[in-house]
Amino acid sequence: MDTDLISSDEEDYLDLLLQDGDIVDDTESYTTEQEVFSSQDSSQSLYGDTLAKNIYWKDENTLDDSAPDPRTNAFKPKKPPGFQFANFTRKQLQGLKSPADFFKLFCTVELLTQICIATNNQARTLISAGMCTSYTSNGAWELLTVNELLRFLGIVIYMSVVKLSTVDKYWSSDVLYKSCPVRDVMSKKRFLAILSFIQVTSPAEVDKGDKLTRMRYLLDHVKEISQRLYFPHKDISVDERMVASTHKYSGIRQFIKDKPIRFGIKLWVLACSVTGYTWNFFVYLGKKRTNIVDKSKGLAFTVVTTLCEKLYGQGFRLYVDSFYTTLRLAIDLLTNKVYLIGAIRSNSTAMPLVFKQSVDWSKLVSRGDFRWHREGSFVFIQWKDCKTVTLMSPLHKGSDVTSCFRTISNRSAWKRQNVKQPQVIHDYNVIMGGVDLSNQYLNKYSSYIRTQNHWWKVLFFPCFDIMVVNSYIVFQEFIGKYPAQFENTTFVSRFGQLEFRESIASELMNIGRPSVENIVVKHMPSFLSIRKDCVYCNAKVSMDGLPSPSHKVFSVCNTCNVPLCCSATRNCFYNWHTEVNIQTYVSQNGKFKKRKLET
Hey, what domains does the chain have and what are their CATH numbers?
2-55 (no CATH), 98-209+445-509 (no CATH), 216-440 (3.90.350), 516-589 (no CATH)
Position 33 scores a pLDDT of: 34
Answer yes or no: is pLDDT of 270 > 90.
yes
Instruction: Write out pLDDT tens, residues 173-219.
Output: 888 888 889 988 999 999 999 999 999 998 888 888 888 889 999 99
- Give me the pLDDT at residue 249, please: 74
pLDDT higher than threshold 70 for residue 461? yes
Q: What integer pLDDT is reported at residue 5 of this predicted model? A: 52
Query: Which pLDDT score is estimated for 305?
Result: 94
Q: How far apart are CA 186 and CA 190, in angstroms?
A: 7
CA distances from 425 to 26, 176, 348, 432, 453 (A): 41, 52, 19, 10, 46
HSE toward the beta carbon, residue 371, CA cutoff 13 A = 23
Which residue in 87, 200, 157, 114 sits closest to 467, CA to CA?
A: 157
Question: pLDDT: is 139 or 270 the higher one?
Answer: 270
CA 439/CA 278 separation, integer angstroms: 9
Inter-residue contact 111 to 218 (CB < 8 Å): yes
CA 144 – CA 115 distance, rounded (Å): 9
CB-based contact 338:316 (threshold 8 Å): yes
Contacts (Cβ under 8 Å, ≥6 apart) of 424: 341, 379, 381, 391, 393, 396, 400
**Separation between Cα atoms, residue 344 and residue 348, nearest integer Å:** 6
DSSP 519: I
What separation in angstroms does the CA of 94 have from each of 85, 97, 489?
A: 11, 7, 14
Q: What pLDDT shows up at residue 594?
A: 46
What is the model's pLDDT at position 45? 35
Task: Give the pLDDT band (50/70/90) at residue 550.
Answer: low
Close Cβ partners of 478 (under 8 Å, ≥ 6 residues apart): 83, 96, 102
SS3 content of the chain, % helix, strand, coil (to 5): 45, 15, 40
Average pLDDT over residues 398-410: 86
Rounded alpha-carbon distances, angstroms, from residue 87 to 81, 92, 105, 146, 275: 13, 10, 11, 25, 20
Q: What's the rounded mean pLDDT across residues 538-542?
A: 83
231 vs 135: CA distance, rounded Å: 44
Average pLDDT for 71-79: 92
Report pLDDT for 52: 46
Share of the chain above pLDDT 70, in %: 84
The mean pLDDT of the chain is: 82
Longest dimension (CA), the chain: 132
Residue 293 pLDDT: 67
- Does residue 319 surpass a pLDDT of 50? yes
- In sequence order, what are the beta bridge partners of 140? 137
Per-residue pLDDT at 394 exceeds 90 = yes
SS3 category, 213: coil
Sign of CA dihedral 568, 574, 575, 576: positive
- Condensed to tens digits (0 to 9), the pLDDT of residues 139-182 reads 788 899 999 999 999 999 999 999 998 899 999 888 888 888 99
Residue 329 has pLDDT above 90, yes or no: yes
Q: What is the mean pLDDT of residues 544-566?
A: 82
Which residue type occupies 243? V
What does the alpha-carbon distance between residue 186 and residue 315 come to, in Å, rounded to a whole number?
A: 50
In angstroms, what CA-CA distances link 303 with 168, 213, 267, 307? Answer: 41, 21, 10, 6
* pLDDT for position 47: 36
Q: What is the pLDDT of residues 283-303, one digit of tens each?
A: 998 877 777 767 778 889 999
